[in-house]
Structure formats: C-alpha cells, structure tokens
Amino acid sequence: MFEMVDPLPGALRLKMPRFVIAWSIVDLVLCSLRALELPFLIAALILMESCGCSAPDKCIVTRGGLSLILWLELGSACAVAVTGLAGNIGMLCRRHWAQYFCFISLLFTLASYGIMVWQTLLCFKGSATLVFVIAIIAVLLFIMLRTALLVFNTISLFKAKHFFKERDGY
C-alpha cells in the first residue's frame, strides 16, 4: 500500500551511542539542578551582605563585603549550568558544536574543584585538628563523587567525538 522511500539513498545511517544519550540526559538533569541552585546562592550572598555576617576575615579574601571565594563559586556554578545545559541539549539534538560546550562545562567543573579545596583550606586553617581533618575528609569524599561523574562525562565526550568524526568526517 505505502512504499518506503529512503530520503538519502546510499547514506550511512549512524546512531549516537546510547551511553552518550543516557549521560546527556543525566548531565542535563544535574546541570538543571545546578541552575536551580543559583538563585539560592545569590540570595545567600545578599543575605550575608545585608546582615553583615560575611565570612570571617581570617577565612576569606573579602571584596566589597562579600567574599571573593563565594563570587568565584557563583561564577563557576553559573558557567557549569549554562555551558552544560547548552552542551547537553545540543548533544541530544546531535549537533557537532555541543561537544565544545560540554568540554567547557568540564573545565569549569574542574575549576570549581579548585575553588572548593581553596575555600576549605582557608576556612579551616587554624581550626581544631579534628574539625580540620573532618572538613578535609568531607571535601575528599565530595571530590571522589564528582570525579566519578566527571569520568562518565569524559567517556561520553570521547564517544561523542568518535560519533561526530564518523558522521561528519572531522
């Protein structure tokens, strides 16, 4: 009754690897949660400034009353959310440019690691030894969890790069 017509006869049909699709969905959810965190982080910064309870001077380099580290944390969170959302949506739409946004998101995630370690070392320096050890253990556990997610992200990027290379030839 109906005849199936191939829109591109002889064209190689490549499917995006399932891992890339699955990880793009998971990372899209994680980046969305990071984007939902931003208003709360901004509200916390405003609240800290308005009540004059910004972090102790021994802990953080202050700039205009607000701590520089909190601004860096806000900037990295915003950058991860924006580039991650753009990259993952583009990846699900099978756009070649999406891998660049995902890679930039990966770099900002690494930057947030450095900010987190810097903040912990500065804030707990001079604290009781037990408190400092607990803080370092908590940071290390958090970094191990985020590193596992980062490994999945990296694997997904390499699989996507291979897919785009086969599909587009570059």
Q: What is the pLDDT of residues 74-111, one digit of tens each?
A: 899 999 999 999 999 999 999 999 999 999 999 999 99
Residue 65 confidence (pLDDT): 44
For the question of whether the overall pTM of this predicted structure is more than 0.95, the answer is no
1 pLDDT more than 70: no
Helix or strand (DSSP H, E) at 63: strand 62-63
DSSP assigned state of 8: S
pLDDT at 139 over 70: yes
* Per-residue pLDDT tens digits for 5-19: 545 555 556 788 999
Domain ranges of the chain: 18-162
Q: What percent of the chain has pLDDT over 90?
A: 42
CA distance 113 to 92: 27
* Cα–Cα distance for residue pair 140/146, rounded to 1 Å: 10
